[in-house]
Amino acid sequence: MSKGVVPLRFTPAPWVAEAACRGLDPNLFFPKREEEGGVAQALAVCATCPVTRACMEYAIANYLDEGVWGNTSARQRRAIATARHRGHRHALEYQSSDKTEPLA
Which residues are bridge partners to 72 per DSSP?
69
Q: Over 60: is that where the pLDDT of 4 sits?
A: yes
pTM: 0.72
Residue 78 phi/psi, 5-degree rounding, is -65, -40
The count of C-alpha atoms lying within 13 angstroms of the C-alpha of 89, restricted to the half-sphere facing its C-beta, is 6
Query: Bigger pLDDT: 35 or 53?
Result: 53
Question: What is the domain partition of the chain in residue ranges?
Answer: 14-102
Query: Bigger pLDDT: 7 or 41?
Result: 41
Q: Over 50: is that where the pLDDT of 104 sits?
A: no
